[in-house]
Structure 1
């Protein structure tokens, strides 16, 4: 076998790592003593092992590393002679084991990194799904508002502010055929804690008769401020009062915020 083929066969790396049998070690040692190119290649491989060990020296004690380095490190371009071939092989085996452990540690680190990336992606996916759900809800809400406003069969009743809140206003969208009622409460101030707006369908004659058709619950969370309330079929006017949460059996006239005649 030619020198180049012998070097490229990989046997010298195994020799340096201490992975050959004793007879194979003897053969490589004999070849290196006879052939300067093979000797130089062994020295090159030893340097690589030393550099690898140096770069990861924090994983071993300083004193232990220096002892190993003293055995392997090149000084003035020459290899330090070893006490025995078996001792030299032992250190090379240790270096190979260290390289293997470093490789395993690196792979473990990459695995953890990949796991963390997967967790991050899952969190981002969850947030994106929440955003999509929220957007769909807003789109449905917007579609509802547009349908109510654009429905030409609806009778629009404007409610003006009263003494307790002169600047307040609201709109009633009432479909007399289906009796469905929607309230646009965007002109009302946010109710205080523990209070809710209550909607009243009013009969004016022969005497004022109020009938509750619902409350505007979750006022703060309703971005469009369009509320669906109960049906009514015989309203002559609509009013909105501020009542305790859950509503009141009769309207509190002192808290009448808006009023409007059909």
Structure 2
């Protein structure tokens, strides 16, 4: 209702410049909403005060002045003839001019407010677009950096095949021994269920010893597909299991999704 009051239609209603249909709508609002009726009353008071300020004469003072010019005697009644004044017409013109001026100022204020709102919306849209562009550029730069890293001639690629719990799953590990970095391509893994995360393990085979490389808590089936992890281990194989959120101290073997051996 505040938005309706701020629209300016109530001022136009008081000035009598609305269409018949618009007058009916405002009248219904007056009957239904006390705050609308209160607003119309305040507008009428303001207009009355403005009109009185613009009026060039005071009716009460004029009546007193007219009475003082009437002379009566006991035998002979004389009335001093009075010429018709044009002041009321001028006053009405003043009222109308004041009302039109007020309408014009209100209309101009509304238009300025609309323009300022449009400018603010455009500025917000520009900032949002700039933010999206910056994120896209950062993602592109990160992708290029990862691709350059995994394409290096000294990087070892280890394919991880799907296991019994998920035969269709697959992943790849790109291991850079020189920098002790491993890049895990998880594009072949199904999205983990709620409350679960994938955890990557570095394995030595004799004896079988798993070492956690970290959880893939930034996994996003529709977003980032290659995740960088530290791997200072003497890995002979890699495996990925599904674990509770936060990861586990040791791998849950019946939730082993993928497994791959480092080629000698």
Find the aligned partners of 2:100 and 2:91 in 1 and give their Cα distance. 14
Q: CA deviation at 1:211?
A: 0.9
Q: CA deviation at 1:91?
A: 2.1
Q: How many residues align structurally?
A: 187
Q: Is the 8 A contact 1:141 1:224 kept in 2?
A: no
**Residue 232 (str. 1) matches residue 187 (str. 2):** no
Q: What does residue 253 of structure 2 align with?
A: 253
Q: What does residue 165 of structure 2 align with?
A: 164
Runs of 4+ in 1 over 6 A off after TM superposition: none
Find the aligned partners of 2:89 and 2:115 in 1 and give their Cα distance. 39
Q: CA deviation at 1:222?
A: 6.8
SS in 1 for 2:104: helix
Find the aligned partners of 2:217 and 2:109 in 1 and give their Cα distance. 55
Residue by residue over 1:3-57, the C-alpha shift from the partner in whole angstroms, topping out at 9 and shown as x without a partner, is xxxxxxxxxxxxxxxxxxxxxxxxxxxxxxxxxxxxxxxxxxxxxxxxxxxxx97
Q: Is the 8 A contact 1:175 1:181 kept in 2?
A: yes
SS in 2 for 1:181: strand
Q: Is the 8 A contact 1:162 1:256 kept in 2?
A: yes
User: Where do 5+ consecutive residues of structure 2 fail to align?
Assistant: 1-10, 18-82
Find the aligned partners of 2:152 and 2:186 in 1 and give their Cα distance. 18
Find the aligned partners of 1:167 and 1:126 in 2 and give their Cα distance. 43
Q: What does residue 88 of structure 2 align with?
A: 87
Q: What does residue 197 of structure 1 align with?
A: 198
Q: Is the 8 A contact 1:176 1:233 kept in 2?
A: no
Q: Is the 8 A contact 1:241 1:258 kept in 2?
A: yes
Q: CA deviation at 1:181?
A: 0.8
- Closer, same or farther in 2 for the Cα pair 1:151/1:89, shift >3 Å? same
Residue by residue over 1:216-240, the C-alpha shift from the partner in whole angstroms, topping out at 9 and shown as x without a partner, is 1131277131111122241111111
Find the aligned partners of 1:148 and 1:83 in 2 and give their Cα distance. 101
Find the aligned partners of 2:222 and 2:145 in 1 and give their Cα distance. 13
Find the aligned partners of 1:211 and 1:169 in 2 and give their Cα distance. 20
Find the aligned partners of 2:210 and 2:96 in 1 and give their Cα distance. 93
- Closer, same or farther in 2 for the Cα pair 1:57/1:238, shift >3 Å? closer
Find the aligned partners of 2:234 and 2:16 in 1 and give their Cα distance. 92
Find the aligned partners of 1:251 and 1:184 in 2 and give their Cα distance. 19
Find the aligned partners of 1:131 and 1:57 in 2 and give their Cα distance. 44
Q: What does residue 216 of structure 1 align with?
A: 216
Map 1:13-28; keep pairs closer than 5 Å: none
Q: What does residue 129 of structure 1 align with?
A: 130
Coordinate RMSD, CA, aligned: 2.3
Q: What does residue 15 of structure 2 align with?
A: 60
